[in-house]
């Protein structure tokens, strides 16, 4: 009986252990070692039990006896149970391996990011997609780590707080968009779900989550939202009424302008309603019928004008455009409408027509000839006096030009005066000869520009009064006076030229005399200083004094050279030259000095510049002098920009110095070539600019300039029959302009 009870106890222990393993599986019985370990334990227990069944208490083998049959029967039952349990273990092991395979396959190939974490938010398992998303090639590299090993502090702290909340509450976080900064620094968005991770007993042992990269979707959504907001802002900013109507006539979208028009505080208050809610029934029914036709035909309605009654009972003129919206199947499903209130424009147009009629009535009753032409010379308006004078109907004149009505010579004269109005941008008074059956008549014409709302000249108007009789009476007196006036003018001009010439000649003789008288003594002084300098090298103070005296002599020589240049005849060697080439050569000569003075050079050369007769060497001398003057001016501010610009055109508004040699050479209307030398220095004092061409006048510091450079430069320009002009620029700096007569006209 003792042996029997012992065996029964052992059998019971084995059965309990076996039943426990079958009930709880690897997780409940041996979570660490797994199903294989459990099977090994069961087998070991079975071996112990069977050994014990075959032994007595004193160690003898039980092979018979009164209890032998019972032992064998129990052993057989236990053996059968062991076989059954081994089968169950094998079956469960196969199922477990299959489940593990399914899970591994799913984890490795699902495109979403999947992870499991323990209670400390450490990764215990991740799939390959999650590892690659985190910049790790192997999922094993993430095991045991936390978000703080991969993300910035703020993001990792937030994730940890979410997971701790899930663990505490047992409630997951489903389907929310999370903004992430990846370890690579890339910005991303994921659609995440986080849930509590429970064992088979239902106890929370961690968290797990799944997330999908929705960066493109979020960015696209944000872009669409921005575009929607931009479109909404654009639609609401339009003063026109803009709205979309569904096929049933209800409003699906309206802008603020239309909402206010129908008396609503917000566009949303209009949505879902139709025209019958806001307009009189006959107008609303007409609109709905119009919409129906557009939806049936798919044809838009463009710029349709209609009259409608406002909510206050007023009348409006509206221009409407309706365009059908087409779905994917090519069928119209809604209508976009734009309506513009043109009531005020219509009133303004009517007022304009009335004004035009009034103006026409006024000009028709004016005794003068009144006309209006486009800038291209086509007649826009004439009065009755014009029709009577030339025996033409208004319809025969409007849209025509002077060349269709007058001879070419007369038409040319009219066209030139009209063009002068446009060019000068101001009214002019001119006398014009108009052919009539009894001969040419003289008309005093007041011509003036007409501008549109943008301030641009679009037409030329004119009033012409016949002054033929007055001209005939004045002609005789004018002829008597013309000779006297001309003689007086010639005498005055000759006198002024003589005065100026005598003044310059006197200065020239003085300069020549001074140069002659001073040049030789200076040479002697220079020679003496050379001798003294050689003997004074041992005396430093005496040597410095001699050197200063030598520099003074060199300064005096420069002045003498300038005087000689000023007083000499300056014979020119004139050759047809391209001013661009001459300017380029002068800038090359001055390049080193300008670069040293931190002056940048900008060239703006006219590509099709006419030739001019030039002494290139002399003109280069003038340009070099002007460049050096500009350099000295800009040195005070540490450098600047020097611009050389060539140009051509027809001369107008010529300012003539009556004593200059250009008198009678450059005239109004001549084709010219010119070069502008511009600097951005401080400019010249306006009180001194009138004296800059006087000999020995200079604005430079003592010892820097002789005061003869510009005098010589102007003389060279006079010999070329050209002009030298120096003025201050409004934006700062000085503009020096050399103007020459071009070799070809026009």
Q: 714-717: long-range contacts (C-beta < 8 A, 24 or more apart)?
A: 715/566, 715/570, 716/570, 716/615, 716/618, 716/619, 716/621, 716/622, 717/622, 717/662
Mean pLDDT of 703-714: 67
**Predicted local distance difference test score (pLDDT) of residue 3:** 47
Q: What pairs with residue 319 in β-bridges? A: 305, 340
CATH number of the domain at 570-741, please? 3.30.565.10
Sign of CA dihedral 719, 721, 722, 726: positive
Share of the chain above pLDDT 70, in %: 78
The more confident residue out of 160 and 76 is: 160
With cut-offs at 50, 70 and 90, classify the pLDDT of residue 403: very high
**Predicted local distance difference test score (pLDDT) of residue 657:** 46
**Predicted local distance difference test score (pLDDT) of residue 156:** 87
The token duo for 69 is 């049959």
Give me the chain's average pLDDT, please.
79
Q: Which of 160, 171, 159 is nearest to 196 (CA)?
A: 171
Q: Does the pLDDT at position 719 exceed 50?
A: yes
Q: What pairs with residue 459 in β-bridges? A: 374, 450
Mean pLDDT of 654-669: 57
**Predicted local distance difference test score (pLDDT) of residue 261:** 83
Lowest mean pLDDT among 295-299, 304-308, 330-334, 499-503: 499-503
Would you tell me how many other CB atoms lie within 10 Å of the CB of residue 28? Answer: 15
The more confident residue out of 532 and 57 is: 532
With cut-offs at 50, 70 and 90, classify the pLDDT of residue 661: very low
- Euclidean distance between CA atoms 161 and 194, whole angstroms: 12
- Euclidean distance between CA atoms 574 and 720, whole angstroms: 8
Q: Which residue has the tokens 């050689």?
A: 534
Q: Which of 663, 653, 676, 678 is nearest to 722 (CA)?
A: 663
**Predicted local distance difference test score (pLDDT) of residue 652:** 79
Q: Which helix (H) or strand (E) holds 322?
A: strand 315-326
- Kindly give, in sequence order, each residue whose CB lies less than 8 Å from that of residue 210, ignoring residues fewer than 6 positions away: 112, 113, 114, 192, 193
The more confident residue out of 726 and 745 is: 726
Decide: 381 and 363 in contact? Cβ < 8 Å.
yes
With cut-offs at 50, 70 and 90, classify the pLDDT of residue 60: very low
The more confident residue out of 235 and 51 is: 235
With cut-offs at 50, 70 and 90, classify the pLDDT of residue 346: confident
- Euclidean distance between CA atoms 602 and 679, whole angstroms: 10
- Euclidean distance between CA atoms 23 and 570, whole angstroms: 127
Mean pLDDT of 242-263: 88
Q: Which helix (H) or strand (E) holds 189?
A: strand 187-198
**Predicted local distance difference test score (pLDDT) of residue 496:** 57
Q: Which of 190, 220, 195, 215 is nearest to 113 (CA)?
A: 190
Mean pLDDT of 73-86: 82
Decide: 662 and 718 in contact? Cβ < 8 Å.
yes
- Euclidean distance between CA atoms 638 and 680, whole angstroms: 11
**Predicted local distance difference test score (pLDDT) of residue 720:** 85
The more confident residue out of 182 and 519 is: 182
Backbone angles phi, psi at 669, to 5 degrees: 90, -10
The token duo for 34 is 């797994």
Lowest mean pLDDT among 32-46, 266-280, 356-370, 582-596: 32-46
Most confident of 65-69, 383-387, 520-524, 715-719: 383-387
With cut-offs at 50, 70 and 90, classify the pLDDT of residue 577: very high
Lowest mean pLDDT among 147-156, 203-212, 392-401, 647-656: 647-656
Decide: 643 and 604 in contact? Cβ < 8 Å.
yes
Decide: 338 and 240 in contact? Cβ < 8 Å.
yes
Torsion angle (degrees, nearest 10) of CA 139, 145, 148, 150: -20
With cut-offs at 50, 70 and 90, classify the pLDDT of residue 569: very low
Q: Does the pLDDT at position 17 exceed 80?
A: no
User: Residue 309, SS3?
Assistant: strand
Q: In whole angstroms, how far apart are CA 518 and each of 510, 525, 564, 696, 706?
A: 12, 10, 12, 16, 16
**Predicted local distance difference test score (pLDDT) of residue 46:** 53
Query: Which strands, in side-by-side order, build the sheet including 439-451?
Result: 379-382, 369-374, 457-466, 439-451, 428-436
User: Residue 180, SS3?
Assistant: strand
43 sits in the region (left: phi over 0; alpha: psi -120 to 50; else beta) called alpha
605 sits in the region (left: phi over 0; alpha: psi -120 to 50; else beta) called beta
**Predicted local distance difference test score (pLDDT) of residue 339:** 85
Strand 301-309 relative to strand 315-326, pairing:
antiparallel
Output DSSP code: residue 55.
B
The more confident residue out of 379 and 556 is: 379
Q: Does the pLDDT at position 262 exceed 50?
A: yes
Would you tell me how many other CB atoms lie within 10 Å of the CB of residue 490? Answer: 10
| Half-sphere exposure of residue 649: CA atoms within 13 angstroms, side-chain side | 10
The token duo for 295 is 């939806």
Q: Which of 401, 371, 403, 399 is nearest to 384 (CA)?
A: 371
pLDDT tens across 578-598, in order? 999 999 988 988 888 888 889
- Euclidean distance between CA atoms 699 and 705, whole angstroms: 8
**Predicted local distance difference test score (pLDDT) of residue 684:** 86
Decide: 224 and 231 in contact? Cβ < 8 Å.
no
- Euclidean distance between CA atoms 377 and 400, whole angstroms: 8
- Crossing angle of the two packed helices 540-567 and 709-719, in degrees rounded to 10: 20
The token duo for 683 is 């400019």
CATH number of the domain at 347-466, please? 3.30.450.20
**Predicted local distance difference test score (pLDDT) of residue 198:** 92
**Predicted local distance difference test score (pLDDT) of residue 511:** 58
- Euclidean distance between CA atoms 701 and 636, whole angstroms: 12
- Euclidean distance between CA atoms 21 and 670, whole angstroms: 119
**Predicted local distance difference test score (pLDDT) of residue 673:** 94
**Predicted local distance difference test score (pLDDT) of residue 312:** 62
Q: Does the pLDDT at position 369 exceed 50?
A: yes
Lowest mean pLDDT among 63-77, 118-132, 436-450, 705-719: 63-77
612-648 exposure pattern, b = at least 16 Cβ within 10 A, e = fewer: bbbbbebbbbbbbbbbbbbbbbbeeeebbebbbbbbe
With cut-offs at 50, 70 and 90, classify the pLDDT of residue 35: very low
Tallying the residues shown for the chain, one arrives at 746
**Predicted local distance difference test score (pLDDT) of residue 27:** 38
Rounded to the nearest angstrom, the gap between the alpha carbon of residue 472 and the centroid of all alpha carbons in its chain is 65
Q: Does the pLDDT at position 12 exceed 50?
A: no
pLDDT tens across 514-564, in order? 655 565 676 667 777 777 777 676 677 777 777 777 777 666 666 666 555
pLDDT tens across 672-683, in order? 999 999 999 888
Q: Which residue has the tokens 């943008």?
A: 454
With cut-offs at 50, 70 and 90, classify the pLDDT of residue 23: very low
With cut-offs at 50, 70 and 90, classify the pLDDT of residue 353: confident
10 Å CB burial of residue 236 (0-12, 13-18, 19+) is middle
Share of the chain above pLDDT 90, in %: 20
Would you tell me how many other CB atoms lie within 10 Å of the CB of residue 269? Answer: 14
Q: Does domain 110-219 correspond to CATH entry 3.30.450.20?
A: yes
- Euclidean distance between CA atoms 739 and 673, whole angstroms: 6
Domain spanning 238-341: which CATH class is it, in words? alpha beta
- Euclidean distance between CA atoms 363 and 386, whole angstroms: 10
The more confident residue out of 460 and 519 is: 460
- Euclidean distance between CA atoms 632 and 701, whole angstroms: 10
């Amino acid at each position: 009986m003792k042996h029997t009870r012992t065996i029964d106890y052992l059998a019971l222990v084995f059965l309990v252990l076996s039943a426990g393993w079958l009930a709880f599986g690897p997780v409940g019985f041996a979570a660490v070692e797994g199903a294989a370990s459990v099977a090994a334990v069961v087998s070991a227990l079975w071996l112990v039990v069977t050994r014990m069944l075959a032994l007595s208490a004193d160690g003898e083998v039980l092979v018979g006896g009164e209890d032998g049959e019972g032992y064998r029967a129990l052993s057989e039952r236990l053996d059968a149970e062991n076989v059954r349990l081994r089968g169950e273990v094998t079956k469960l092991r196969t199922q477990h391996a299959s489940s593990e395979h399914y899970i591994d396959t799913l984890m490795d190939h699902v495109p979403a990011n999947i992870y499991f974490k323990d209670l400390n938010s450490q990764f215990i398992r991740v799939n390959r997609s999650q590892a690659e998303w985190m910049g790790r090639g192997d999922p094993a590299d993430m095991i045991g780590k936390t978000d703080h090993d991969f993300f910035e502090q703020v993001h990792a702290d937030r994730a940890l707080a979410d997971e701790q909340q899930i663990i505490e509450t047992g409630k997951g976080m489903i389907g929310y968009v999370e903004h992430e900064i990846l370890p690579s620094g890339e910005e991303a968005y994921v659609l995440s779900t986080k849930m509590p991770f429970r064992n088979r007993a239902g106890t929370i042992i961690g968290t797990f989550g799944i997330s999908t990269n929705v960066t493109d979707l979020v960015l696209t959504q944000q872009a669409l939202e921005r575009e929607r907001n931009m479109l909404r802002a654009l639609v609401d900013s339009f003063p026109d009424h803009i709205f979309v109507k569904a096929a049933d006539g209800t409003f699906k979208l309206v802008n603020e302008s239309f909402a206010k028009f129908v008396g609503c505080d917000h566009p949303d208050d209009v949505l879902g309603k139709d025209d019958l809610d806001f307009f009189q029934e006959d107008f609303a029914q007409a609109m709905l019928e119009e919409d129906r036709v557009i939806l049936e035909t798919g044809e838009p309605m463009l710029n349709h004008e209609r009259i409608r009654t406002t909510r206050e009972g007023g009348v409006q003129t509206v221009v409407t455009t309706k365009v059908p919206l087409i779905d994917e199947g090519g069928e119209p499903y809604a209508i976009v409408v734009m309506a513009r209130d043109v009531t005020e424009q219509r009133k303004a147009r009517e007022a304009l027509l009335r004004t035009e009629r009034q103006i026409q009535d006024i000009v028709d009753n004016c005794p003068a000839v009144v006309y209006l032409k486009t800038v291209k010379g086509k007649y826009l308006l004439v009065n009755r006096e014009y029709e009577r004078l030339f025996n033409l109907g208004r319809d025969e004149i409007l849209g025509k030009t002077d060349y269709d009505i007058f001879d070419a010579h007369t038409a040319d004269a009219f066209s030139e005066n009209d063009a002068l109005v446009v060019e000068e941008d101001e009214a002019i008074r001119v006398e014009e000869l108009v052919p009539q059956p009894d001969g040419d008549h003289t008309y005093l014409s007041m011509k003036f520009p007409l501008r549109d709302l943008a301030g641009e000249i679009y037409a030329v108007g004119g009033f012409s009064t016949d002054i033929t009789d007055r001209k005939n009476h004045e002609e005789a007196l004018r002829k008597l006076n013309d000779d006297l006036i001309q003689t007086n003018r010639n005498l005055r001009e000759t006198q002024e030229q003589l005065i100026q010439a005598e003044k310059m000649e006197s200065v020239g003789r003085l300069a020549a005399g001074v140069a002659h008288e001073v040049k030789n003594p200076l040479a002697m002084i220079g020679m003496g200083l050379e001798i003294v300098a050689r003997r004074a090298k041992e005396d430093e103070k005496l040597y410095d004094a001699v050197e200063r005296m030598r520099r003074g002599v060199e300064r005096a020589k420069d002045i003498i050279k300038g005087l000689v240049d000023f007083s000499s005849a300056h014979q020119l060697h004139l050759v047809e030259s391209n001013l661009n080439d001459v300017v380029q050569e002068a800038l090359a000569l001055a390049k080193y000095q300008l670069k040293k003075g931190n002056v940048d050079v900008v060239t703006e050369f006219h590509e099709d510049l006419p030739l001019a007769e030039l002494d290139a060497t002399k003109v280069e001398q003038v340009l070099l002098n002007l460049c050096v003057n500009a350099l000295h001016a800009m040195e005070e501010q540490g450098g600047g920009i020097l611009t050389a610009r060539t140009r051509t055109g027809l001369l107008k508004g010529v300012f003539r110095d009556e004593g200059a040699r250009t008198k009678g050479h450059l005239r109004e209307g001549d084709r010219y070539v010119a070069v502008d030398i511009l600097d951005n220095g401080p400019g010249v004092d306006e009180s001194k600019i009138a004296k800059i061409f006087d000999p020995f006048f200079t604005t430079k510091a003592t010892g820097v300039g002789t005061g003869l450079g510009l005098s010589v430069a102007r003389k060279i320009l006079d010999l070329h029959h050209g002009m030298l002009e120096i003025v201050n620029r409004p934006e700062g700096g000085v503009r020096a302009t050399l103007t020459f007569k071009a070799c070809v006209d026009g």
